[in-house]
Amino acid sequence: MLRLLLALLLTLAAPGLAAAQGAITAAKAKDLVRASLVAESEALVPGGTVTLGLHMAMKPGWHVYWRNPGDSGLPPEMAWRLPAGFSVGPVQWPAPERIPVQTLMNFGYEGNVTLLVPLTVPESARVGETVRLAGTLSYLVCEEICIPGSAELSLDLPVAGSAEPASGQAALFARARAALPETAPGPVRTTREGDRLVLRLDRPDLAEVSGAAFFPYAEGALDNAAPQDLAVDAAGLRLTLTPGDAGQPAEALAGVLTLTEAGARRAYALGPEPTPAPSAAAAVATAPEAASAPSGEETLTLWSAAGLALLGGLILNLMPCVFPVLSIKVLSLVRQAGESATRVRLHGLAYTAGVLASFLGLAGLLIALKAGGAGIGWGFQLQSPVVVALLAYGLFAMGLSLSGVVHLGGGIVGLGDGLTRRAGYQGSFFTGVLATLVATPCTAPFMGAAVGFALTQSTPAALAVFASLGLGLALPFLGLTLFPRALRLLPRPGAWMDVLKGALAFPVYATVAWLVWVLAQQVGPDGLLAGLTGLVLVALAAWAWERARHAGRLGTSLSRAAAVVALAASLGLVVVLDGDRAAARGTALAQGEEAFTQARLDALRAEGRTVFVDMTAAWCITCQVNERTVLARDGVQAAFRAGQVAYLKGDWTNQNPEITRLLEHHGRSGVPLYLVYRGTREAQVLPQILTEGIVLAAIGQKDVAAAR
């Protein structure tokens, strides 16, 4: 038995080992990208500014990314280590290229690129001293596959009373500046025509333009892979674009327009360039240790993160998404109350092994995908409508079994009815697996910081934190089984158990209804119809299978064949689910809410507004409870209006790299995340479980609400 559990544990944890192998592969990134730090001047002048260059040369066929990477990828980022008083300004990004990858469209650079960064030298810099400028450049380099890489860059420069241009660097900086977008050469306006956006550049001398491309600053502003239709006439240029899912107003569209004219390519900046939020300066550290500390959080250690994960796992047992499975395990404990202590303990160990194996497997897969450049986080599997539908099908079958429609046995629901010992242990193991799957939509207190910390550490350290999280989830049930005397407090088995068994089906059905609601946020009408039809086919399969138990030999064969066909058809419908995913629109916005984009957040902060940022997802139970019981309350909404608080909602129901980056910046790997910005000040991170008082105090409207 123990050998079986160990084999299953290693099988499900294999993605974690694959992630370690991915880390070895990542070391090859330095052979694909040659990075260097260069300066335009030979020396630093006290009180002056010098331009630095982050130069990256890629192997043919490989590319790195622009500030908005497009449909996938991550932009390069430099974590600076500078002497006290020195500071860097925002990166100046050259105009990118459109880089198609299968059905996606990315924005980035091939060949080589130089990112320009202004460095301010303090007046206190002493002439004659030598200053070391250093940092870690992190990047993602991609071809058909993506490899994350990093480079330790440094440059020693003297401080002098005056400075000459650096010898040998003039051409490099001249090319870099020539690639920067210029001011628009004429009036630019964007209008909506039907379901498309039309960008117009009014200038009569554009007849020679043979190509154009627009690169939005904000992720999700456009359907990046859609064609950009160019038309040029005597009045100027007209570029027709397809809007994305961000719901950005046409007049707010800003980005870079590139024109190809007589074989030459020029770039123009249209609209305001996003102002980097001060919180982004956390990545521009002045000390090595600051680069790894998440914003707004105390620095965690491996032990403290593991402790927080253990507490978070314990609290997960109280979350509504885990309740149906734990209800079934309560019934299982009642059945096992009269069995030997050894057998009861083995059931507890099997359940714990299932939980731990599932957590390690999901964690390993998450680590491996993030190492490959995927913009995902905790709960990533529920961003797939296929996974949501399959989970609904499985729970629906479990509910039918509990209701007595079909007898599926303990191997499915962990009840151990009429099975051998081995099958009973397997039932406990896979109940632990199921408990993990339905727990992932929930983020308990203490859990967010621990998971965010884990995903910034080495693979062994990350897996240790996730194992602590799984142990916390399994601990209550494990504790009951390790101390069999506690089982004596439970009622003795009897006929009442059949009534309880039927009653426990209804929280399972409620979970299925919730999963169907999540599916409705992810797919269009055709996909939702396919998902609901799949549930009907699961019911048909269960009915036919049960009929087979009471039919003759021929009837048994026909009934079981019908059950298998119905089940196969339900699984085949997942293809329709994924195909209709593009029509999904995610969580609807209420009155007064705006869709989150980094560009919109930057603009509101530049205006000095107070901004409440709600990072949520349809499959996040904690998010939905907070929104309905706290954020939607009249007192909170009135306080938002009284304080002119802008409400930005980031919907992570489907993957969104821009939201993922903000989560990671604040040391989180999943939702919910609640932030309050007051103008240009650093964001205040609110607890994951909200109260009205917490929200009102954060937006500075507590006294106003009390007066009401």
pLDDT(26) > 50: no
Question: Locate tokens 């694909």: which residue?
Answer: 32
Answer yes or no: is pLDDT of 530 > 70: yes
| From 96-105, 299-308, 409-418, the region with the lowest mean pLDDT | 409-418
Give the C-alpha separation, 634 to 639, whole Å: 8
pLDDT for 118: 95
Q: What is the mean pLDDT of residues 162-167?
A: 83
Give the residue-averaged pLDDT of 437-455. 62
Q: Provide, rounded to the nearest whole percent, the portion of the chain with pLDDT above 70.
A: 73
Quote the CA–CA distance of 659 and 466 in Å, as a whole number.
Answer: 22
pLDDT at 294 > cutoff 60: no
pLDDT at 286: 38
Tell me which of 120-124, 256-260, 368-372, 685-689 is least confident. 368-372
pLDDT at 237 over 80: yes
pLDDT of residue 256 exceeding 90: yes
Q: What are phi and psi of 210, to 5 degrees?
A: -110, -10
CB atoms within 10 A of CB 510: 15
Closest CA to 473 of 340, 341, 329: 329
Q: What's the pLDDT band for 518 if we cut at 50, 70, 90?
A: confident
In the chain, what percentage of residues exceed pLDDT 90? 19
The larger pLDDT score, comparing residue 476 to residue 322, is at 476
Q: Which residues pair with 112 in a beta bridge?
A: 57
Q: How far apart are CA 242 and CA 244, in angstroms?
A: 7
Please state, in angstroms and as integers, the Cα–Cα distance from residue 212 to each residue in 200, 231, 436, following that order.
12, 10, 49
Distance linking the first and last C-alpha atoms of the chain: 64
Predicted confidence at residue 557, as pLDDT, reads: 75
Dihedral of CA atoms 177, 131, 88, 41 in degrees, nearest 10, equals -20
Report the pLDDT averaged over residues 191-206. 86
Is a pLDDT exceeding 50 seen at residue 9?
Answer: no
Query: What are the Cα distances from residue 302, in Å, to 79, 298, 306, 450?
Result: 22, 13, 6, 9
The pLDDT, as a whole number, for residue 657 is: 76
pLDDT bucket at 283, cuts 50 / 70 / 90: very low
For residue 31, what pLDDT is reported?
Answer: 79
**Span 120-130, pLDDT tens digits:** 999 999 999 99
Position 627 scores a pLDDT of 87
pLDDT for position 411 = 36
Alpha helices in 440-552, H assignment, sequence order? 447-454, 459-482, 496-503, 505-522, 525-548
Three-state secondary structure readout of 175-210:
HHHHCCCEECCCCEEEEEECCEEEEEEECCCCCCEE
pLDDT band for position 24 (50/70/90)? Answer: very low
Neighbouring residues of 651: CB distance < 8 A, sequence distance ≥ 6:
586, 587, 595, 596, 616, 617, 618, 659
**Does 393 score more than 80 pLDDT?**
yes
**120 phi/psi in degrees, rounded to 5:** -95, 130
Largest Cα separation within the chain, whole Å, is 101
Going from the C-alpha of 172 to that of each of 53, 56, 167, 227, the distances in angstroms are: 9, 12, 11, 33
Q: Please report the pLDDT score of residue 622 as a whole number.
A: 75
User: What average pLDDT does this structure show over 192-214?
Assistant: 86
CA distance 74 to 64: 8
Which phi and psi (to 5°) does residue 640 adopt? -60, -45
Quick one: pLDDT at residue 38? Answer: 95
pLDDT for res 336: 59
Q: What pLDDT, on the 0 to 100 scale, is given for residue 233?
A: 83
pLDDT of 104 strictly over 70: yes
Q: Which carries the bigger pLDDT value, residue 139 or residue 448?
A: 139
Enter the DSSP assignment of 159. B
Between CA 514 and CA 520 the distance in angstroms is 10
Q: Tens of pLDDT along 30-83?
A: 778 999 999 999 999 999 999 999 999 999 989 999 999 988 788 899 989 899
Q: How open is the CA angle 251-252-258, to the nearest 5 degrees?
A: 90
pLDDT of residue 56: 95
Q: What angle do CA 19, 25, 30 make, to 5 degrees?
A: 135
Mean pLDDT of 536-562: 76
Q: How high is the pLDDT of residue 122?
A: 93
Q: pLDDT-based confidence at 666, cuts 50/70/90?
A: confident
| Nearest by Cα to 36 from 156, 162, 186, 137 | 137
Phi then psi dihedrals of residue 521, to 5 deg: -80, -15
Rounded to whole angstroms, what are the CA distances from 405 to 515, 540, 549? 21, 11, 12
Q: How confident is the model at residue 176 (pLDDT cuts 50, 70, 90)?
A: very high
The predicted structure's pLDDT at residue 14: 42
Three-state secondary-structure class, residue 33 = strand
Burial 244-269 (b: 16+ CB within 10 A, else e): bbbebebebbbbbbbbeeeeeebbbb
Mean pLDDT within 128-139: 90
Q: Is the pLDDT of residue 235 over 60?
A: yes
Cα torsion 264, 66, 88, 35: sign: negative
Task: Tell me which DSSP letter residue 145 carries.
Answer: S
Structure tokens at 47: 């009180």
Q: Specify the DSSP class assigned to residue 19.
A: H
Q: Which parts of 243-299 fold into alpha helices (H)?
A: none
The DSSP symbol for 583 reads G
Q: CA-CA distance, 363 to 455, in Å (whole number)?
A: 9
> Mean of the per-residue pLDDT values for the chain?
76
Token pair for 433: 């697996």
Strand partners, 152: 136
Most confident of 64-68, 334-338, 383-387, 639-643: 64-68
Torsion angle in degrees (nearest 10) through CA of 656, 657, 659, 661: 160
44-53, 144-153, 429-438, 549-558 — which is least confidently predicted?
549-558
Q: Is residue 247's pLDDT more than 60?
A: yes
Please tell me the predicted confidence (pLDDT) of residue 2. 35
Q: Mean pLDDT: which of 16-25, 238-247, 439-448 is highest?
A: 238-247
Higher pLDDT, 211 or 28: 211
Q: What is the pLDDT of residues 608-637, one digit of tens each?
A: 889 999 998 877 777 888 888 899 888 898
> How would residue 414 be classed by pLDDT, with cut points 50, 70 and 90?
very low
Length of the chain equals 708
pTM higher than 0.75, yes or no? Answer: no
